[in-house]
C-alpha cells in the first residue's frame, strides 16, 4: 500500500464509521431501553474509575474486632469476615470485573472479527478450515474451557483475561463472517477492487464499518457473559488470589457466612446482577433494532 | 408447565410424609459432615490430614489406647493388649494380647504376627509417614501366638504413646494389607468398631458396624462420612437434620451460631492444632535472620486470638504447643512491633519491604488465618503472595519444598519430641529420604533433639527440650500463631457413650456404646 | 434420508476428531509441561523427569497422539492420578446424575420457556410481553450460583421442602425427584429464560409470514392458526438453539452441583483441576466433547425431522 492511498482510505473509513455510528444512535432511539442499559453501565464504570476517591475505606484494611457487622452508618453495606468494608470492596471489585471483562472482550472482538473478515473475504479452503476450528471451539462450554485454562495457567488477572477471551473469539468470528460474505459481493466492493484497492483496505475501510454495529452489539452481550464467567470462576475458587476484592470471590466468602450474615453475599450479588442486566438490556435492545429480520416491524 | 411443577411439589409432599413414617424406628445410621472435598489417603500409617485421621479414628485399635473422650496420655488404658510388662532398664517390653480380636470382614483373628507386621510397617519409611517415631525400635517379635516383645535400642520415655491408635500405632491386619496391595489405601482394614464399606469419590465413605468387635457389636450400624467442603452447606445440612454430626468451622462465630440450633451439643475439644508459620531459611530473602525477625515482629498474636475468638483458641508461645510434655515458655519472644519490623527489613537491605510466597490450602479454617496474617504483614510492608491449592495438593506441594512460607496447622502426640523431631530436626527436611515436615529447614537444635530422645534422666531430658526450643526461637525457624481447638457439634439425640473433653485423633470418639437415644 | 443421516454423521466424526486433537494439544501445549504443572514450578528436575516418564510424556508426540486416540475409542482413558482408578469408571459413576439434571432442566426450560415465548410474541408490545421480556432478561443475568443460593435458602432452609444435599442417587423414585427438584429448577429457570427469548423471536417471525396473514384473512380462528401453523415452525429455531445452549447448560450445571453438593461431572472436573489430576482432566474433556458433538448431531437430525422443507439430501 502506498502512502498516497492512506488519507483517502482513512477518510473513507471515517465516513463509514460515521455512518455506522449514526446507525447505532438510530438503533438506540428505536429501542429506548438500550439507553437505560447504557446509562446504568456507564454509571458503574464511573464508580469503578472513581473507587480510590469515593471508597469510604481501604478495601484491604482488616478490622478484626469489627467483623461481620450489618450495614451501619460507618459501613453502608456492613463488614465482611475480616472486618473489611463491603462497599469499598465492591467498588474496587468493580474495577477487577470490568477490566477483565472489557480487555478480554476487546481482544476477542478484534481477533474474532479479523478471523471472520478474513475467512469470509477469501472464502474457499481458508474459510472452511478457520470456521471449522471456530465451531470446534464454540462447541466447548465456555465455563469449562475457562476453568481449564485458568487452572493450568494459574489464577491471575492476565490469565483470566486470556481464558475468557479465548472462549469469546468464535462467536465474533461467526458474526463477522456472514455479513462479510454478503457485503463482498456488493457493487462498491467490486468497484474498489477494479480501482486496485488492496484487500486490507477493502476489508477495513469498506466491509468493517458495515458489520461494526452488529459486532458492537455482540460485544455488549458477551461482556455480560464475560463478567458472569469471571464471577463464576471466582466462586469456584479460581479467581484472583486473596486479598484482592472480586465480586465472585466476595459472594463465595459470603456464601460461607450466609446463615448469620447474609449481606456479605447479597450486595456483591446485586452488583453483578446490575451490571450484567444493564449490558443485556443494552445489547438486547440494540440487537432488536439492528436485526434485519425484525427491523421493519418496530 | 403448571402441571409439571405441581407434579414435583406433590411428589415432594409425598416424600415428606414417607420419611416421617420411617423416622419413628430406632435410628442406627449416623451421618457425619466433614469439611473437606474428598478423602485423601486412608492408610492409617500414611494419613496425616484432619479429615482422614478423624475417619480412621473409628476403624482402628492400638495395643493400648487413650480412654475415649480424653486426649492426654495419663488416660492410657489397654486396647488390643490386655497387659504388659517392661524390663528394669526400660528396653524390653512384653505385651499380652487379647485373643478375641477380629479383623474386619473375612480377614480373621488378629494375633501376634499381625501386630509385629503392623509395627514393622509403621517403622518402614516406604510404607509409613511416621517411621521416624520408631527409630529406637530394635526389634518387634512374636514371642507367643498372642504375645509381642518389643526391644528398644534405648529407653523411650513414652513408649506407650507410640502404641496408641493415633499414627503408627494403628494396628492393621497383615492378610488384608498383603491381599489388597495398593488398594489398602482406599479400603483400610483394621479391628475397630466400624469397618470400611464403600467409598464414593467426593461424596462419602460409608462405614458399617463391625459385628464381631471385641468390645461388643456397635449400636450404630452405619456411618456416612460425608465430604461437604463448604462450611455453609455443611451448616445448612446440619440445621436441616440431614447430618447428625458436623465438623465445625474453626471460628467462634460458628460456635455461637450452632449452639442456637435446637437439640445441639457443641464440643470444643483439645488438643489444639497449632498454627505455625514455617519460614524456609534456605530461600532468599528468608535466609537473612533479620527478615525472619521482621516477620515475627509483624504478627500481632493477641489480635489473632481475638480474631478467631478466645473461646476456641489457645495462645501459642513456643514452637512446641503449651500442654505438651517438655514445653517451655522461657524462650525469646518477638513482640508485635511494626517499627522494629520495618527497621529490621531496612537493615537487611529491603527498605521498601519484601514479597514472600506461600502455597496454601483452600481449607476454610486455615485460609482465614492466613488471610488475617497477610493483612498484618501488609502493615509491615511484607507482601504475602498466596497461591491457593486444594488441601491434598497443598500437602504434596509443601513436601516438595515449594513454599517460602508454610502455614501448617497440626496436633501431635503431646510430648515435645514428636513436634521437635518432625518439624525442626534436619533429618525431617523435605526431599530428604527421611523427610517429615521441617519446612523451615531448621537445623539449629539437632543435637538437643537427638540427645533428649535417649536421655534416661527425665529432668535432663526436659532441659534438653527447653534448650532446643530456645535455639529454634532464636533462629526464628518458625512463628507459632495460636492453637485452634477442635470444634464439633452433634444432635443431642446422639449419645456418644462417654463425656467428651478431647480427642487425639481430632474427631469425637465413636465406640460400640455410641447410639441414638430416640 | 439415509444419505442425510450419513452425511451428518460424517461431519460429526470429523468434528470429533478435530476436537479430540485440540484437547490433546491443549492439555500438552498450554502450560508447557503437565509434569511441571502437577509438581509446581520449583520442583526438582529429577522429580519432573520421573513423572514425565510415568505419564508417558517423554515419548514422541506422534506416538502419544496415536495412543491417546486409540485409548479414547477403545475406552482406555488411563487411570486417575489421584485415586488410581480408571478414569472412565469414575466418570461413569457420576455421569447419570449430571445427565439426569441436564435433561430435567431442559424439559423444565422448554415447558416454561416455549409457552411464555409464544404468549409474549402474540401479545407483543402489551404489558404481558414487557413483563415476560424483562423477566427473561433478568433470568439471563442471574449467575447460576446466586440463584442456587437463593433457592436453597428459600426452599431448603426456610420452607424445608427439599433436602440441602442432593445425593443424586436416592433409592426410590420419590427420593430421586426430591434430590433433583431444586437443582433442576435452578438450571431449568435459566434455560427457560433463554428458550423464552428464542421462542418469542421465532414466533414473531412466523406470525409475519404470508401464510399466517392469509390464514388470518380467511378468518380461521387464531388459536387454530397458532397450533396448526405457527408452533411447528417456531420449534425449529428453538431446537437448534437448545443444542447450542448445551454449553451454557453444562457450565451452569457445574455451579449448580457445587452449591447443592450434588455429585456430577461438574464437581468431578473441579476436583480434578484442584488436585491437578491430569489424566482425569483429559478424560473429562473427552466426555464433554462426546456430549457436545453428540448433541449437535442430534440437533441436526431433529432439525431435519421437524422441518419438512429440509430435504434429506
Interval A280-297: pLDDT, tens: 888 877 776 666 544 433
Instruction: For residues A139 and A170, give the distance between their C-alpha atoms in angstroms, rounded to a whole number.
Output: 10
Tens digits of residue pLDDT in A200-233? 777 777 777 777 877 888 888 888 888 888 888 8
A52 close to B (CB below 8 A): no
User: Best interface-test mutation with A: which of B228, B230, B232 has the largest number of A CBs within 10 A?
Assistant: B232
pLDDT of residue C307: 61
Specify the range with the lowest mean pLDDT, choosing from B431-440, C32-41, C104-113, C186-195: C32-41
3-state SS class at C70: helix
With H, G, I as helix, E, B as strand and everything else as coil, classify residue A114.
helix
**Mean per-residue pLDDT, C19-31:** 70
Q: Which residues of A touch C154 (CB under 8 A)?
A: none
* Residues in chain C closer than 8 A to A137 (CB atoms): 22
* Chain B residues inside the 8 Å CB shell of A258: 232
C157/B240 CB distance under 8 A: yes
Facing A60 at nearest CB: one of B236, B362, B375: B375
Query: How many angstroms separate the CA atoms of B194 and B60, rounded?
Result: 8
- The nearest CA of chain A is from the CA of B380 a distance in Å of 13
Q: What nine digits make up the cell of A273?
A: 446482577
Q: Which of residues 277-336 of B touch A (CB under 8 A)?
A: 303, 306-307
pLDDT tens per residue across span C228-275: 667 777 777 777 777 777 777 888 888 888 888 888 888 888 878 776
Interface of C with A in 151-170 (CB under 8 A): 153, 157
Q: Is C259 on the interface with B (CB under 8 A)?
A: yes
Contact B364 A82 (CB under 8 A): no
Least Cα separation, residue A68 to chain C (angstroms): 19
| Contacting residues of A for B303, CB less than 8 Å apart | 64
Query: Which residue out of B185, B187, B201 would a mutagenesis test of the C interface target, given it has the greatest number of C Cβ atoms within 10 Å?
Result: B201
Q: Which of B4, B11, B242 is facing C163, going by the closest CB pair?
A: B242
Cell 422448554, residue? C110
CB-based contact B1 C177, cutoff 8 Å: no
CB contacts of A148 in chain C (<8 Å) are: 26, 273, 281, 285
- Best mean pLDDT range from A61-75, A185-199, B3-17, B160-174: B160-174
Which residues of B sit within 8 Å Cβ distance of C?
A: 1, 4, 8-9, 11-12, 14-16, 18, 37-38, 182, 185-186, 200-203, 226, 228, 230, 233, 236-237, 239-240, 242, 359, 362, 389-390, 392-393, 397, 400-402, 431
List chain C residues with CB under 8 Å of B38. Answer: 271, 275
CB pairs under 8 A between A and B: 53
Other beta carbons within 10 angstroms of residue C202's beta carbon come to 24
What is the pLDDT at residue B29? 93
Residues of chain B with pLDDT under 50: 1-24
Closest CA to B493 of B270, B203, B261, B269: B261
Mean pLDDT, all residues of chain C: 77
The pLDDT value recorded for residue C43 is 53
On the question of pLDDT at A2 being above 60, the answer is no
Give me the helix-helix angle, A208-236 and A247-256, nearest 10°: 30
Which residues in chain A are contacts of C258 at CB distance < 8 A?
235-236
**Residue C144 in contact with partner chain A when CB distance is under 8 A:** yes
Residue of chain A whose alpha carbon sits nearest to that of B359: A241
Instruction: Of A131-140, B184-193, C292-301, give the range with the top mean pLDDT.
Output: B184-193
Q: Give the Cα separation of C106 and C103 in Å (integer).
A: 5
Residue in chain C lying closest to A33 (CA)? C134
Consecutive H or E run containing C5: helix C2-29
Q: B213 and B458 in contact (C-beta within 8 Å)? A: no
Q: Average pLDDT in the A233-249 region? A: 83
Q: How is residue B358 written as a grid cell?
A: 506461600
Is it true that the peptide bond before B341 is cis, omega within 30 degrees of 0?
A: no
Averaged pLDDT for residues A33-38: 84
Give the pLDDT mean for A88-111.
92
Q: How many CB atoms are located within 10 Å of the residue B295 CB?
A: 27
Contact A54, A85 (CB under 8 A): no
Give C144's contacts in chain A (Cβ within 8 Å). Answer: 232
Instruction: Please count the residue pairs, one from chain B and one from chain C, whose beta carbons lie less than 8 angstroms apart.
Output: 96
Q: What is the CA radius of gyration of chain B?
A: 24
pLDDT-derived band at A34, boundaries 50, 70, 90: confident
Please judge whether A139 and C19 are an interchain contact, meaning their C-beta atoms are less than 8 angstroms apart. yes
- The residue of chain C nearest to residue A144, with distances taken between CA atoms, is C251
C204 contacts on A by Cβ (under 8 Å): 294, 297
Say which of B230, B236, B387 has its CB closest to residue A241. B387
Under DSSP, is residue A185 helix (H, G, I), strand (E, B) or coil? coil
* Backbone Cα Rg of chain C: 23
Subunits next to B (3 or more Cβ pairs <8 Å) are A, C
Residue B287's pLDDT is: 92
Distance CA B79, CA B97 (A): 9
What is residue A79's DSSP assignment?
B
Query: Which partners does chain C have (≥3 C-beta pairs < 8 Å)?
Result: A, B
Cell 483441576 belongs to: C273
Q: Which of C165, C181, C191 to mutate to test the interface with B (most CBs of B within 10 A)?
A: C165
**B364 touching A (Cβ < 8 Å):** yes
Per DSSP, A85 falls in state B
Cβ contact C90–B201 (<8 Å): yes
Q: Which residue of A has its CA nearest to B363?
A: A237
**Summary mean pLDDT of chain A:** 79
Q: Which residues on neighbouring strands pair with residue B32, listed in sequence order?
A: B225, B245
Residues of A in Cβ contact (< 8 Å) with C19: 136, 139-140
Is A269 in contact with C146 (Cβ distance < 8 A)? yes
Nearest-5° Cα angle at C194, A114 to B3:
165
Report the chain B residue with the minimal C-alpha distance to residue C154.
B236
Helix (H) or strand (E) segment spanning residue A253: helix A247-256
In this complex, which of B239, B257, B371 lies closest to A82 when CB atoms are compared? Answer: B371
**Chain segment A271-280, per-residue pLDDT in tens:** 988 898 898 8
From chain A residues 253-272, the ones with a CB under 8 A of any chain B CB are 255-260
Chains A, C: CB contacts under 8 A, how many? 122
- The predicted structure's pLDDT at residue B511: 93
Q: Are C109 and C198 in contact (CB under 8 A)?
A: no
Contacts of A140 in chain C (CB under 8 A): 19, 247, 288-289, 292
Q: How confident is the model at residue C45 (pLDDT cuts 50, 70, 90)?
A: low
Check residue C40 and give its pLDDT. Answer: 54
A139 near C296, Cβ under 8 Å? yes
Touching check for A50 and chain B: CB below 8 Å? no
Find which of B15, B184, B394 to mutate to test the C interface (most C CBs within 10 Å of its CB): B15
By the CB < 8 Å criterion, does C152 face chain B?
A: yes
Banded model confidence at residue C308, pLDDT cuts 50, 70, 90: low
Which helix (DSSP H) or strand (DSSP E) does residue C146 occupy? helix C144-151
Amino acid at each position: 500500500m502506498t502512502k498516497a492511498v492512506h488519507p483517502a482510505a482513512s477518510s473513507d473509513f471515517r465516513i463509514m464509521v460515521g455512518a455506522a455510528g449514526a446507525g447505532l444512535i438510530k438503533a438506540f432511539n428505536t429501542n429506548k431501553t438500550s439507553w437505560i442499559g447504557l446509562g446504568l453501565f456507564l454509571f458503574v464504570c464511573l464508580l469503578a474509575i472513581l473507587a480510590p476517591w469515593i471508597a469510604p475505606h481501604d478495601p484491604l484494611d482488616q478490622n478484626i474486632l469489627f467483623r461481620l457487622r450489618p450495614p451501619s452508618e460507618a459501613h453502608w453495606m456492613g463488614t465482611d469476615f475480616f472486618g473489611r468494608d463491603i462497599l469499598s470492596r465492591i467498588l474496587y471489585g468493580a474495577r477487577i470485573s470490568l477490566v477483565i471483562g472489557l480487555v478480554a472482550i476487546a481482544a476477542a472482538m478484534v481477533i474474532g472479527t479479523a478471523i471472520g473478515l478474513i475467512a469470509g473475504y477469501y472464502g474457499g479452503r481458508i474459510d472452511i478450515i478457520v470456521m471449522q476450528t471456530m465451531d470446534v471451539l464454540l462447541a466447548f462450554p465456555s465455563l469449562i474451557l475457562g476453568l481449564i485454562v485458568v487452572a493450568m495457567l494459574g489464577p491471575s488477572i492476565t490469565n483470566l483475561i486470556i481464558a475468557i477471551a479465548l472462549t469469546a473469539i468464535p462467536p465474533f468470528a461467526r458474526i463477522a463472517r456472514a455479513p462479510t460474505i454478503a457485503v463482498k459481493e456488493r457493487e462498491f466492493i467490486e468497484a474498489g477492487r477494479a480501482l486496485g484497492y488492496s484487500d486490507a483496505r477493502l476489508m477495513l475501510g469498506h466491509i468493517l464499518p458495515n458489520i461494526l454495529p452488529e459486532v458492537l452489539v455482540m460485544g455488549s452481550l458477551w461482556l455480560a457473559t464475560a463478567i458472569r464467567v469471571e464471577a463464576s470462576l471466582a466462586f469456584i475458587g479460581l479467581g484472583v488470589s486473596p486479598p484482592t476484592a472480586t465480586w465472585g470471590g466476595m459472594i463465595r466468602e459470603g456464601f460461607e457466612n450466609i446463615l448469620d450474615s447474609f449481606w456479605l453475599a447479597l450486595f456483591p450479588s446485586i452488583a453483578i446482577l446490575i451490571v450484567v442486566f444493564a449490558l443485556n438490556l443494552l445489547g438486547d435492545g440494540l440487537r432488536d433494532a439492528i436485526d434485519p429480520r425484525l427491523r421493519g416491524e418496530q | 408447565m403448571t402441571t409439571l411443577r405441581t407434579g414435583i411439589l406433590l411428589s415432594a409432599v409425598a416424600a415428606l410424609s414417607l420419611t416421617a413414617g420411617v423416622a419413628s424406628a430406632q435410628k442406627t445410621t449416623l451421618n457425619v459432615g466433614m469439611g473437606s472435598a474428598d478423602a485423601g489417603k486412608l492408610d492409617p500409617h500414611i494419613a496425616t490430614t484432619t479429615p482422614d485421621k478423624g475417619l480412621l479414628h473409628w476403624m482402628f485399635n492400638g495395643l493400648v489406647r487413650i480412654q475415649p473422650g480424653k486426649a492426654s496420655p495419663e488416660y492410657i488404658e489397654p486396647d488390643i493388649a490386655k497387659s504388659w510388662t517392661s524390663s528394669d532398664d526400660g528396653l524390653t517390653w512384653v505385651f499380652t494380647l487379647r485373643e478375641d480380636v477380629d479383623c474386619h470382614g473375612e480377614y480373621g483373628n488378629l494375633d501376634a504376627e499381625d501386630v509385629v507386621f503392623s509395627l514393622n510397617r509403621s517403622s518402614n519409611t516406604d510404607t509409613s509417614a511416621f517411621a521416624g517415631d520408631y527409630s529406637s525400635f530394635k526389634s518387634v517379635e512374636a514371642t507367643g501366638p498372642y504375645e509381642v516383645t518389643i526391644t528398644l535400642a534405648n529407653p523411650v520415655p513414652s513408649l506407650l504413646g507410640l502404641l496408641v491408635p493415633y499414627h503408627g500405632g494403628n494396628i492393621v491386619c497383615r492378610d488384608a494389607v498383603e491381599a489388597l496391595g495398593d488398594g489398602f489405601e482406599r479400603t483400610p482394614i483394621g479391628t475397630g468398631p466400624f469397618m470400611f464399606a464403600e467409598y464414593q469419590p467426593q461424596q462419602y465413605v460409608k462405614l458399617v458396624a463391625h459385628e464381631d468387635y471385641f468390645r461388643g457389636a456397635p449400636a450404630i450400624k452405619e456411618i456416612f462420612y460425608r465430604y461437604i467442603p463448604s462450611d455453609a452447606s455443611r451448616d445448612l445440612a446440619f440445621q436441616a437434620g440431614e447430618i447428625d454430626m458436623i465438623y465445625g468451622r474453626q471460628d467462634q462465630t460458628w460456635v455461637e451460631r450452632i449452639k442456637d440450633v435446637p437439640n445441639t451439643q457443641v464440643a470444643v475439644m483439645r488438643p489444639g492444632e497449632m498454627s505455625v508459620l514455617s519460614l524456609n531459611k534456605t530461600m532468599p530473602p528468608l535466609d537473612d535472620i533479620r527478615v525472619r525477625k521482621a516477620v515475627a515482629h509483624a504478627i500481632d498474636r493477641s489480635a489473632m486470638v481475638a480474631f478467631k475468638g478466645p473461646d476456641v483458641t489457645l495462645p501459642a508461645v513456643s514452637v512446641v504447643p503449651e500442654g505438651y510434655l517438655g514445653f517451655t515458655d522461657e524462650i525469646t519472644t518477638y513482640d508485635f512491633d511494626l517499627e522494629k519490623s520495618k527497621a529490621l527489613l531496612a537493615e537487611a537491605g529491603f527498605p521498601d519491604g519484601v514479597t514472600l510466597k506461600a502455597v496454601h490450602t483452600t481449607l476454610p479454617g486455615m485460609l482465614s488465618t492466613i488471610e488475617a496474617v497477610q493483612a498484618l504483614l501488609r502493615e509491615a510492608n511484607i507482601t504475602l503472595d498466596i497461591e491457593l491449592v486444594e488441601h491434598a495438593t497443598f500437602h504434596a506441594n509443601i513436601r516438595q519444598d515449594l513454599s517460602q512460607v508454610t502455614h501448617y496447622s497440626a496436633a501431635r502426640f503431646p510430648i515435645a519430641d514428636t513436634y521437635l523431631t518432625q518439624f525442626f530436626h534436619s533429618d525431617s527436611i523435605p526431599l530428604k529420604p527421611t523427610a517429615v515436615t521441617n519446612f523451615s529447614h531448621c537445623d539449629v537444635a539437632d543435637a538437643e533433639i537427638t540427645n533428649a530422645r535417649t536421655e534416661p534422666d527425665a529432668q535432663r531430658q526436659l532441659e534438653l527440650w527447653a534448650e532446643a526450643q530456645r535455639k529454634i526461637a532464636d533462629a526464628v525457624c518458625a512463628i507459632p500463631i495460636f492453637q485452634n481447638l477442635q470444634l464439633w457439634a452433634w444432635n443431642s439425640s446422639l449419645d456418644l457413650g462417654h463425656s467428651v473433653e478431647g480427642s487425639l485423633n481430632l474427631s469425637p470418639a465413636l465406640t460400640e456404646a455410641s447410639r441414638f437415644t430416640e | 434420508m439415509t444419505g442425510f443421516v450419513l452425511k451428518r454423521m460424517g461431519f460429526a466424526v470429523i468434528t470429533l476428531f478435530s476436537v479430540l486433537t485440540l484437547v490433546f494439544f491443549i492439555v500438552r501445549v498450554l502450560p508447557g509441561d503437565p509434569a511441571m504443572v502437577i509438581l509446581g514450578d520449583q520442583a526438582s528436575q529429577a522429580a519432573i523427569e520421573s513423572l514425565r516418564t510415568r505419564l508417558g510424556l517423554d515419548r514422541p508426540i506422534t506416538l502419544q497422539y496415536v495412543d491417546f486416540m486409540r485409548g479414547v475409542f477403545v475406552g482406555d482413558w488411563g487411570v486417575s492420578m489421584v485415586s488410581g482408578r480408571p478414569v472412565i469408571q469414575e466418570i461413569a459413576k457420576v455421569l447419570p446424575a449430571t445427565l439426569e439434571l441436564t435433561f430435567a432442566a431442559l424439559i423444565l426450560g422448554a415447558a416454561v420457556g416455549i409457552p411464555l415465548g409464544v404468549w409474549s410474541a402474540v401479545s407483543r408490545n402489551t404489558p404481558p410481553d414487557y413483563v415476560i421480556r424483562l423477566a427473561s432478561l433478568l433470568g439471563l443475568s442471574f449467575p447460576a450460583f446466586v440463584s442456587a443460593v437463593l433457592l436453597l435458602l428459600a426452599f431448603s432452609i426456610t420452607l424445608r421442602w427439599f433436602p440441602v444435599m442432593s445425593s443424586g442417587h436416592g433409592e426410590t423414585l420419590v427420593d430421586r425427584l426430591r434430590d433433583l427438584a431444586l437443582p433442576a429448577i435452578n438450571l431449568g429457570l435459566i434455560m427457560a429464560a433463554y428458550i423464552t427469548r428464542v421462542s418469542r423471536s421465532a414466533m414473531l417471525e412466523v406470525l409475519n409470514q404470508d401464510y399466517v396473514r392469509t390464514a388470518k384473512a380467511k378468518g380461521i380462528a387464531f388459536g387454530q392458526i397458532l397450533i396448526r401453523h405457527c408452533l411447528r415452525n417456531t420449534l425449529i429455531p428453538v431446537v437448534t438453539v437448545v443444542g447450542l445452549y448445551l454449553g451454557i447448560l453444562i457450565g451452569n450445571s457445574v455451579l449448580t452441583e457445587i452449591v447443592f453438593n450434588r455429585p456430577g461431572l461438574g464437581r468431578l472436573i473441579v476436583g480434578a483441576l484442584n488436585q491437578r489430576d491430569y489424566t482425569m482432566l483429559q478424560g473429562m474433556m473427552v466426555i464433554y466433547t462426546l456430549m457436545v458433538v453428540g448433541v449437535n448431531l442430534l440437533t441436526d437430525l431433529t432439525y431435519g425431522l421437524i422441518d419438512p422443507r429440509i430435504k434429506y439430501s
